[in-house]
Amino acid sequence: QTAINLADKLAQHGVKILGTSLEDLNRAEDRKEFEALLREIAVPQPQGKTATSPKEALENAREIGYPVVVRPSYVLGGRAMEIVDNDQELENYMT
């Protein structure tokens, strides 16, 4: 879904997409592969991290610096996404 939406937006802005293989769709869906591709073609991207615990989320947020956008895994349409400005807001979000 994300790859299809991204391809549409790129085409609207004049970026040529020469056929989209299954491999490319999968690469667009895999965060690590997609980040590597963006680095390779010099497209900037906000810093991001994945956390599997509240402790790890706090460590990541402190490393990145507030404010941060947080969201649960595997949600569509931005549901449950929030911008948090400090440790307390992040702790509240995570509980």
- Taking only the tens place, the pLDDT of each residue in 18-49 is 776 656 766 777 888 888 999 999 999 998 89
- The model's pLDDT over 48-95, given as tens digits with 9 standing for 90+, comes to 899 999 999 999 999 999 999 999 887 777 788 999 999 999 999 998
76: enclosing H helix or E strand: none
Q: CA geometry: angle at 20 spanning 13 and 33, to 5°?
A: 90
Q: Are residues 30 and 61 in the same domain?
A: no
The residue segments making up the domain with residue 23 are 2-40
Domain annotation covers residue 49: no
Cα gap 87→31, rounded to integer Å:
25
Domain annotation covers residue 13: yes
Total domains, the chain: 2
Q: Are residues 66 and 35 in the same domain?
A: no
